[in-house]
Amino acid sequence: MSAPVAKVAREGAEGGSRRLILDTAARLLRSGGYHQTTLREIAEAVGIRKASLYYHFASKEEIVEEVVNDGVRFVHEAVVAALAEHAAASPHARLEAAIRAHLTALHGHGDYTSASIKVFTFGAMPVPDSVRQVRRAYGEVWRGLIAELQQAGAIAPERSPEALRLFLLGALNGSTDWYRPGRFDIAELAQEFAALIAQAG
């Protein structure tokens, strides 16, 4: 992964202001969405003036784009890592691990991931190409996993893998709407969801 490395290098050179701005933007985007979140709010929360943001970023779009892509990449990497850890497990166990990783990344780790969902679910903003690519790459992970499950017989051969993938991701991302830390347990939710769409084994 070369991007994170480059990013860390850049941060070292400029004292992390850029990261601070992105962190703050992520938090505000998560609760407010694209249009409600203003540069004034971000600047205020960071503790600088609105105009100073333009030293670090060329536009609001650029800030949002970076937050959103970071969020999707974070979920992507978490799911890939979970699948690698469960490489030897049963297909059903791998599915459950992937779902658990997705939900954990979405709800347990920072604002970037939730902000991603909130901002680019629906076309609330003109979706940049980079975002489209990052999303597509993540979609491929699930396409592969579902194909694997179907080949292993954990999903019936007559089920449409594409419909299944869209339903599943929709349901997982929709959890930003109703999930609350105290009221649900992510591991249990993952178990429930996995049981819905694949046979145990």
Chain residues binding a second copy by CB under 8 A are: 31-36, 118, 121-124, 156, 159-160, 163-164, 166-178, 184, 188-189, 192-193, 195-197
Nearest distance, CB of residue 192 and a second copy, angstroms: 4
Which residue type does 18 have? Answer: R
Nearest distance, CB of residue 17 and a second copy, angstroms: 28
Binds DNA by CB under 7 A, chosen from 49, 137, 170, 188? 49
DSSP letters, 4-68, are: HHHHHHHHHHHTTHHHHHHHHHHHHHHHHHHHH--HHHHHHHHTS-GGGHHHH-S-HHHHHHHHH
The strand ranges marked E within 38-188 are none
Nearest distance, CB of residue 67 and a second copy, angstroms: 16
Among DNA, a second copy, none, what binds residue 58 when CB lies within 5 to 8 Å by partner kind?
A: DNA
Task: Give the rounded distance of the alpha carbon of 25 from its chain centre.
Answer: 15
User: Should residue 10 be labelled a site residue for DNA when binding is judged by CB under 7 A?
Assistant: no
User: Should residue 19 be labelled a site residue for DNA when binding is judged by CB under 7 A?
Assistant: no
Q: What is the rounded CA–CA span in Å between residue 40 and residue 197?
A: 45
Half-sphere exposure at residue 124, Cβ-oriented, CA atoms within 13 angstroms: 18
Which residue number, 93 or 127, has a Cβ lying nearer to a second copy?
127
Q: Which residues bind DNA (CB under 7 A)?
A: 13-15, 17, 37-41, 47-52, 54-56, 58-61
